Chain A
């Protein structure tokens, strides 16, 4: 199987779906002539032309709304946000229009569209450019929220998202674009709403998604050397959430750490813990712990930023705690 970057896996998905269905088009800032701020749309303008690869003004609310209108009358827009931080300006269209259109029209207008772009902190981009938005978006009925952590999942989930007749929010890890992995060529679909166990183990479950999947796999590999085996459950999509996969894992390990990039308050982890305490109460041998960003806006200074982010050391500390090793 070919080893490709997360970025190229996304480009493959876009190219294949643009070839497959001429109702699919991509719009956003710098997606065409510039080849994408993160080069995800590289080469697509040459192949598909300016009507299908559309450069927009810097006007997130406006072009998100254009996508909504186009989806209402049968096109299948992919709206790229240069980063999800800028998408806050467009949330009215995502939440009040795309997510609710089908419901408030009594089922008359489905919204086959994808909102995608990089999410989460990169390096020293400080407060306004370093945020993970999945808990906000997963709060909204009517949206699906994908958070791929690996190149194969990035490709397979994006293809599934583009084919889905519902609005799908697609959060790409800003720090993942250069990561590499095996990616099946051609038709490779990852169903939305199905988690994957990325490492199998017996001692503790790690429930995670997005960029933190790599951290989960790393600590599983590290702790395995000490004889501690982790069951790393990659949710892959935060909404709908594969709660059966969470239950299967926790019923096996009897302990869990929930690892996410975002803040603690009302985070994705809060939802996971809520599910575990209701459905796996009698299976637990220890309280479930959460690992997340510190409860501060992201600082710029290298040392402070490092201290603010969730990482392998914090995750290992949490695992040791639920195993009563520390």
Chain B
């Protein structure tokens, strides 16, 4: 482990920096400090975010070694959104996302082994090695995929919510996509129907400010993307996506709206991607500067949570080491499992294209 490449400044390195005092949290008029979470909940949030970070650091390494192929889009820097969201929804709710899906899959509770095996293209992968990085699926956790066409899955989320309504259920569907998807037709068609038909869905724009290598200012006439909710008579909210407590609060409100009022919500989570769009582009230097990247990495969501917990006097260096070591161990175990797993047998080439069943 100690010899592994460290493509991203990790939380463990960050923790050596002096934590910046969270001045605001000391004022008494703030409602529910740290989102009213318990100490155990905060620990679980940190654990979830660190697992994603450590897991994806190993993904980058595996990609460089050729163990992961194709496209591989890392989520590093955005972990507060996946973790905050999943911590506020129920196991019987549905989750659907785009191709930057590892973080959400881990936060949802899909087996890290099955995810890594999928990335390695192995028979034991959660999609049997047929999906890869962009197509993580897991029926057990109602994880409806990883989808590779920008915006294509947004109407699918509306359809899932339609089915919930059809059955008079009180679940909801959470749909993640990047800010670049708000310019594609499918997004608008889906929002219109979700509002028109009162569907219980939470649309989450993860605004990391770049659609591949194109800055939002170069692609989007109105950068205030959340105002698009108004066009569809929907409540929209912009959220600090680096603050896991803010994410939780916003998801909590949207979830209540979905369950009680059967109304959709559009949330903009303001975040930043610390890595390139995929493994095939430089982290910085072409479409964004190193300075910009470094400035944004100061608001590492893991660091922010760590600082808050540290300030509250509930996280010693030893505690952090322990949680971090566990995350690293899970990532290592996932790697070992994937590496030792067989490739899909060739006869599976032709399975799962069609089912023989009728109803």
Chain A residues close to B by CB (< 8 Å): 21, 25, 51, 56-57, 59, 61-77, 92-93, 96-97, 101-110, 112, 141-142, 144, 160, 163-166
Q: Contact at A106–B137, with CB atoms within 8 Å? A: yes
Q: Contact at A166–B355, with CB atoms within 8 Å? A: yes
Beyond known contacts A96-B152, A102-B352: 11 more, CB 8 A cutoff:
A25-B166, A59-B189, A61-B185, A63-B193, A70-B162, A73-B164, A74-B163, A92-B149, A103-B352, A105-B139, A166-B355
Minimum CB–CB distance for B110 against chain A, Å = 12
CA distance A238 to B208 in the complex (A): 45
In the assembled complex, which residues on chain B have CB atoms less than 8 Å from the CB atom of A25?
A: 166
In the complex, 6 of the A-B residue pairs with CB atoms within 8 angstroms, ordered by the A residue number, are A75-B163, A92-B152, A105-B130, A105-B131, A106-B126, A163-B358
Interface-facing stretch out of B68-76, B153-161, B218-226: B153-161
Q: Contact at B193–A62, with CB atoms within 8 Å? A: yes
In the assembled complex, which residues on chain A have CB atoms less than 8 Å from the CB atom of B125?
A: 106
Q: Flag whether B128 is at the interface (Cβ < 8 A).
A: yes
Q: Contact at B94–A64, with CB atoms within 8 Å? A: no
Q: Contact at B144–A93, with CB atoms within 8 Å? A: no
Chain A proximity mask over B337-359: 1 for CB below 8 Å, otherwise 0: 00000000000000111110111
Q: Contact at B166–A62, with CB atoms within 8 Å? A: no
Quick one: which of A51, A96, A109, A163 contacts B139, CB cutoff 8 A?
A109
Q: Flag whether B241 is at the interface (Cβ < 8 A).
A: no
Contacts A69-B155, A93-B152; A103 near B163 (Cβ below 8 A): no
CA distance A144 to B159 in the complex (A): 22
Chain A proximity mask over B101-139: 1 for CB below 8 Å, otherwise 0: 000000000000000000000000111111100010111
Q: Contact at B159–A68, with CB atoms within 8 Å? A: yes
In the assembled complex, which residues on chain A have CB atoms less than 8 Å from the CB atom of B200?
A: none
Q: Contact at B127–A105, with CB atoms within 8 Å? A: yes
Quick one: which of B139, B158, B352, B359 contacts A66, CB cutoff 8 A?
B158
In the assembled complex, which residues on chain A have CB atoms less than 8 Å from the CB atom of B155?
A: 61-66, 68-69, 93
Q: Flag whether B332 is at the interface (Cβ < 8 A).
A: no
Minimum CB–CB distance for A304 against chain B, Å = 34
9 nearest interchain CB pairs?
Answer: A69-B159, A65-B155, A62-B189, A106-B128, A105-B137, A66-B159, A107-B352, A106-B127, A69-B156
Most buried by A among B157, B158, B358: B358
Q: Contact at B159–A110, with CB atoms within 8 Å? A: no
**CB under 8 Å from chain A, chain B span 315-350:** none
Chain A proximity mask over B167-189: 1 for CB below 8 Å, otherwise 0: 00000010000000000011001
In the assembled complex, which residues on chain A have CB atoms less than 8 Å from the CB atom of B157?
A: 69
Contacts A62-B186, A92-B152, A165-B358; A104 near B163 (Cβ below 8 A): no
CA distance A207 to B130 in the complex (A): 36
Contacts A65-B154, A97-B156; A70 near B163 (Cβ below 8 A): yes
Least CB separation from A67: chain B residue: B159
CA distance A101 to B156 in the complex (A): 12
In the assembled complex, which residues on chain A have CB atoms less than 8 Å from the CB atom of B355?
A: 102, 107, 110, 165-166
Q: Flag whether B246 is at the interface (Cβ < 8 A).
A: no
Q: Contact at A21–B154, with CB atoms within 8 Å? A: no
Chain A proximity mask over B136-150: 1 for CB below 8 Å, otherwise 0: 011100001101110
Minimum CB–CB distance for B338 against chain A, Å = 15
In the assembled complex, which residues on chain A have CB atoms less than 8 Å from the CB atom of B131?
A: 104-106
Q: Contact at A108–B193, with CB atoms within 8 Å? A: no
Contacts A72-B156, A72-B160; A104 near B130 (Cβ below 8 A): yes
In the assembled complex, which residues on chain A have CB atoms less than 8 Å from the CB atom of B192?
A: 57, 59, 62
Minimum CB–CB distance for A19 against chain B, Å = 15
Q: Flag whether B266 is at the interface (Cβ < 8 A).
A: no
Q: Flag whether B34 is at the interface (Cβ < 8 A).
A: no
Q: Flag whether B44 is at the interface (Cβ < 8 A).
A: no
Contacts A63-B193, A103-B353; A70 near B159 (Cβ below 8 A): yes
Q: Contact at B190–A65, with CB atoms within 8 Å? A: yes
In the assembled complex, which residues on chain A have CB atoms less than 8 Å from the CB atom of B189?
A: 57, 59, 61-63, 65
Least CB separation from A192: chain B residue: B358
CA distance A200 to B355 in the complex (A): 34
Minimum CB–CB distance for B175 against chain A, Å = 10
In the assembled complex, which residues on chain B have CB atoms less than 8 Å from the CB atom of A106?
A: 125-131, 137, 352
Quick one: which of B139, B153, B160, B357 contacts A165, CB cutoff 8 A?
B357
Minimum CB–CB distance for A243 against chain B, Å = 17
Minimum CB–CB distance for B12 against chain A, Å = 34
Q: Contact at A142–B196, with CB atoms within 8 Å? A: no
CA distance A321 to B353 in the complex (A): 41
Q: Contact at A68–B156, with CB atoms within 8 Å? A: yes
Minimum CB–CB distance for A49 against chain B, Å = 11
In the assembled complex, which residues on chain A have CB atoms less than 8 Å from the CB atom of B135?
A: 104-105
